[in-house]
Amino acid sequence: MKKLTLADLLSIQAYAAQRPAIRQAMMQHKKTRRIALGPNAMLHFEDYLLMRYQILEIIRAEKITDETDLLAELETYNPLIPDGSNLKVTFMLEYPDATERKERLSQLVGIEELISIQIDDFQAVYPIANEDLPRSTAEKTSAVHFLRFEFTEAMIAAAQDGADWLIRSEHSNYQHSTETLPTHISQSLLRDFS
């Protein structure tokens, strides 16, 4: 999948004119990129379109026009775009109540390394977690993690041929798995392997 360049961005004025249509399209696109894993975890599968939208929103909110600042945003968000053999995920633990959230995050240390994606009968793939910076301590985990799942050519070929996908959390305090992924989601994720 291609990475973002300055040519992919819009000026603040051009984005303002197109923002309603772009936002509507991105809200629909996000529905094909989000998977609940149990009642309190969500996987947001990132891609080129979502990262472009994220950067455009930042440019708008922070009124960024300087090329150096724009290049810094590209440098920040391009690593979240899949590279053709992987899926990149923002993994979120969602506990609305602050007291419960604090307690649960202390019970879920290491969960980011125990999320797996299995395609067909291949071995489950575990993520490379938080490459940018550590997000867990011995006392608690973070509510947000960035995960990269790397797949073999055989796994990708099987997925492209319609194999089933299974996503699991294997943490002893949060054991959940998905059913078969809906077609609109698996088809969207397959584009990340292009």
pLDDT higher than 90, residue 176: yes
pTM: 0.92
Element (H, E) at 166: strand 165-171
Cβ neighbours of 91 (radius 10 Å): 23
pLDDT of residue 101: 96
The DSSP string of 26-64 is: HHHHHHTSEEE-SSSEEEEE--HHHHHHHHHHHHHHHT-
Region 8-23 average pLDDT: 96
pLDDT higher than 80, residue 165: yes
Region 32-39 average pLDDT: 96
pLDDT higher than 90, residue 145: yes
Average pLDDT over all residues of the chain:
95
- Yes or no: say if 168 and 118 are a contact pair by the CB < 8 Å rule: yes
pLDDT tens digit string along 88-143? 999 999 999 999 999 999 999 999 999 999 999 999 999 999 887 778 888 999 99
pLDDT of residue 158: 96
pLDDT higher than 80, residue 1: no
For residue 70, the number of C-alpha atoms closer than 13 Å in the C-beta half-sphere is 18
